[in-house]
Chain A
Amino acid sequence: MIRKLTSPWLLAVLAAVVMMATACGSTTPGTTSKGTLTVAGFNFPESSILADIYGQALSHDGYTINYKLNLGTRQVVSTAIESGQIDLYPGYAASELEFYNKQAGEATSDPAATTAKLNAHLQPLNLVALTPSAAVDKNAFAVPQAIADQYHLTKLSDLVPIANKLTLGAGPECKTNAFCLPGLVRVYGLHFKAFKTLDTDGPATRAAFKSGAIQVGLVFTTDADLKGLGLVVLDDDKHLTAADNVLPIIRTAVATDEVKTVLNSIDAKLTTVDLIAMIDKVANQHQDADAVATAWLQQHNYSS
C-alpha cells in the first residue's frame, strides 16, 4: 500500500525523532578529567556555598563535578553518601559526630578530638572526615525581642520556667538532632508547649516568628539578619552545642591524596567571618551561591 506522507505512523516517528533531538541537547567533549565527583549540600544556603567552594576548587584541579545542592537534611544526605549516590558533602564536625554515633554525647568543644571520634564512626561506613576548618556554625535558639523583654531572657536556662507556654519551631530533623530538641530536653530540661515543623533556618521559620506562631526558633550562629528581624539569640549557657567546625565528609574510595590536599587547603583558609559574609550575600542580597564561592576562592588565591 502506498502511504501518504501524512500517514500517522510516519508523523509519529518524525515527531519522536525531533523531540529526542531537541531534548538530548549537545554535549561538548571536554578535556580529560581526573574523574567525576558528586558534591551535595544541605537544604540551606550556607551549605550550597560550601559545596560550591569545595566543588569549584576540585573542578579547578581537574575533576568533573556534579552538584546535588539543597538535597535535604543530614538524614537524606548521609543516606546518599553511604549508598554511594554522592561522594562529598560539607559537614559540621560535632553535629556529624552526634548523628553518626546516634546521639551518644561524645562531641566536645575541641574540633580535633571531635573529628577523631567522628572518623572512628565513619570508618566502618567507608567514609572519612577531613581536617576541620576554623569556620564554625552552630545551632542557636532565638526569640523575638518583645518576648525576651517580657520574660527577661538572655540565656537558654531562662526558658525553663516558661517553656510550657512557648512553641518551638524548627525543621523536621530537629526532633532527632542532638543539638536540637533532644538536647534541649536533656541539657536544659526544656519541655515546650508545642513543636511546629517549619524549615531549617529558612523563610518559614522567620515567617513563623513574625506571625507569632512560634516564640522560640532554631537559627544558625552565622545568620546575619537576626537583629534586623527583631530576633535575639539566647546564650547557650550550659554548652549544649559543641565544635561544629566545617569539614568535608567524603567517601574513602574517592579520597585520594590529591583530593584531600585540595579540600584541606580550603579548610585551612576558611573562617567564620568569611562564612557570615558569604551567607549574608546569598540569603539576604540574593547573590548566587556559586558566584560568592568563586569570589572567595579567587580572594584566597586558589583559583586563577
Chain B
Amino acid sequence: MGAKHLAVGFLVSVWRWFADPANWSGSEGIPQRLMEHVQLSAESVAVGAVIALPIGIALGHYGRFGNLAINISNVGRAIPSFGLLVIAFQVFGLGDLPIVIALAALAIPPMVTNSYVGLSEVDPDIKDAARGMGYRELTQLFRVELPLAVPLVMAGIRTSAVQVVATATLAAIIAGGGLGRFVIDGIAQQNYPMMFAGALLVALLAIATELSLSGVERLMVPRGLRLLRAPVQSRTTTSKAA
C-alpha cells in the first residue's frame, strides 16, 4: 500500500517534478503560481493592515477597550478559514475578491491585538515627558509612541503575513490560484509529488515571509532601543489557520 511512497523514491519523484521544465513555464507553472500567491497574500495583509492598524493603534494610544482589543485575537483565531473562504465565495463569486476579503478578515485580529498591546505598553512616563516637552497629540503618537511600539506592531504584521501565506493555500478550493493549486490539484489527481512540492513551496514562502519581515523590523526599530521584552502572549502567539 505504501510502496509508492517509500521515502527515498518519493523524494526522487518530488525532485523530478521540480526538475521538469514544463512545471516552470506557462500559466500554471511555479513562477506564475508563486506570483499569484504572493500577490494574494500581500493584498490581503495590506487591506487588513489598513483596517487593523489604525484601530489597534488608536485603542492602544487612548488606552480604551483593552479587553476588546485583546480578545479580538481570540475571536479571530476561532474563525475557521475553510468556512470563511467558502462563505466569501458564495457571497462574492469567483476571482481574487472573495479570497482577499476572507484572508484580510483573518489577518486583522493579530494586527489589532499586537498594535494595541504595543501602544498601550508605552511607558506612561515617556508619554508624560513628551507632553511636557510640548508635543501635540499626533506628533507624540508618530514621533514617540509608534517608534517605541514598532517591535510589537511589526510582530503583529509578521504573524498575520505568515498566517495569510499559509491559509492562501486553501484559496484553490474555491477555484483560486496560487501555490495551493499544486496542493489541491495534486490531491484531486493523486499526484503526490506535485502535492508535496506545492506544500513545500508554501512552507518556504512562509519562512521567507517571516525572515524578511523580521529583517524589516530590525531596520525599523529605532537606534538606541534594544529589543523590548515582549509579553509572553505575543511571543508565543503562533496561530495556524490552515
Q: Which of A83, A84, A172, A196 contacts B188 (CB 8 A)?
A: A172
Q: Is A75 an interface residue (CB 8 A)?
A: yes
* A54–B12 alpha-carbon span in the complex (Å): 41
Contact with B along A84-107 (1 / 0, CB 8 A): 100000000000000000000000
Q: Which chain B residues border A198 with CB–CB below 8 Å?
A: 175
Q: Is the CB of A76 within 8 A of B190?
A: yes
Q: Is the CB of A172 within 8 A of B94?
A: no
Q: Is the CB of A72 within 8 A of B174?
A: no
Q: Is the CB of A73 within 8 A of B188?
A: yes
Q: Which chain A residues border B94 with CB–CB below 8 Å?
A: 204, 207-208, 211, 213
Interface bracket on B? 10 to 19
Q: Is B1 an interface residue (CB 8 A)?
A: yes
Q: Is B95 an interface residue (CB 8 A)?
A: yes
* A9–B187 alpha-carbon span in the complex (Å): 43
Q: Which chain B residues border A207 with CB–CB below 8 Å?
A: 89, 93-94
Q: Which of B172, B174, B188 contacts A173 (CB 8 A)?
A: B188
Q: Is the CB of A210 within 8 A of B93?
A: yes
Q: Which chain A residues border B190 with CB–CB below 8 Å?
A: 75-76, 79
* A194–B27 alpha-carbon span in the complex (Å): 9
Q: Is the CB of A172 within 8 A of B184?
A: yes
A211 in contact with B188 given A83-B1, A194-B27, A198-B175 (CB within 8 Å): no
Q: Which chain B residues border A208 with CB–CB below 8 Å?
A: 94, 175
Q: Is B236 an interface residue (CB 8 A)?
A: no
Output the nearest chain B residue to A198 by Cβ-Cβ distance: B175
A172 in contact with B175 given A207-B94, A208-B94 (CB within 8 Å): no
Contact with A along B81-102 (1 / 0, CB 8 A): 0000000011001110000000
Output the nearest chain B residue to A194 by Cβ-Cβ distance: B27
Q: Is A176 an interface residue (CB 8 A)?
A: yes
Output the nearest chain A residue to B181 by Cβ-Cβ distance: A197
* A72–B187 alpha-carbon span in the complex (Å): 9
Number of interchain pairs (Cβ within 8 Å): 47
Please give the number of chain A residues whose Cβ is less than 8 angstroms from any Cβ of chain B in the complex: 24
Q: Which chain A residues border B93 with CB–CB below 8 Å?
A: 207, 210-211
Q: Is B185 an interface residue (CB 8 A)?
A: yes
Q: Is the CB of B174 within 8 A of A204?
A: yes
* A227–B192 alpha-carbon span in the complex (Å): 39
Contact with B along A200-211 (1 / 0, CB 8 A): 000110011011
Q: Is B189 an interface residue (CB 8 A)?
A: yes
Q: Which of B1, B89, B181, B188 contacts A171 (CB 8 A)?
A: B188
Q: Which chain A residues border B1 with CB–CB below 8 Å?
A: 83-84
Q: Which of A83, A84, A199 contacts B175 (CB 8 A)?
A: A199
Output the nearest chain A residue to B192 by Cβ-Cβ distance: A79
Q: Is the CB of B189 within 8 A of A75?
A: yes
* A175–B22 alpha-carbon span in the complex (Å): 15
Q: Which chain B residues border A76 with CB–CB below 8 Å?
A: 187-188, 190
Output the nearest chain B residue to A175 by Cβ-Cβ distance: B189
Q: Is the CB of A211 within 8 A of B187?
A: no
Q: Which chain B residues border A204 with CB–CB below 8 Å?
A: 89, 94, 174-175
Q: Which chain A residues border B181 with CB–CB below 8 Å?
A: 197
* A79–B189 alpha-carbon span in the complex (Å): 10
Output the nearest chain A residue to B190 by Cβ-Cβ distance: A75
Q: Which chain B residues border A203 with CB–CB below 8 Å?
A: 89-90
Q: Which chain B residues border A73 with CB–CB below 8 Å?
A: 188-189
Q: How far is the CB of B103 from chain A (nearest CB, A)?
A: 18
Output the nearest chain B residue to A173 by Cβ-Cβ distance: B188
Q: Which chain A residues border B175 with CB–CB below 8 Å?
A: 196-199, 204, 208
* A72–B184 alpha-carbon span in the complex (Å): 11
A176 in contact with B189 given A196-B175, A199-B175, A204-B174 (CB within 8 Å): yes
Q: How far is the CB of A205 from chain B (nearest CB, A)?
A: 9
* A79–B1 alpha-carbon span in the complex (Å): 10
Output the nearest chain B residue to A75 by Cβ-Cβ distance: B190
Q: Can you list 20 contacts pairing A with B, beta carbon distance less than 8 Å?
A: A72-B187, A72-B188, A73-B189, A75-B189, A75-B190, A76-B187, A76-B190, A83-B1, A171-B188, A172-B184, A194-B27, A196-B175, A197-B185, A198-B175, A199-B175, A203-B90, A204-B89, A204-B94, A211-B93, A213-B94
New A-B contacts (7) at CB < 8 Å, excluding given A171-B188, A204-B175, A208-B175: A73-B189, A76-B187, A79-B190, A172-B185, A175-B189, A176-B189, A207-B93
Q: Which 10 A-B pairs have the closest CB atoms?
A: A172-B188, A75-B190, A172-B185, A204-B175, A73-B188, A198-B175, A207-B94, A207-B93, A83-B1, A79-B190
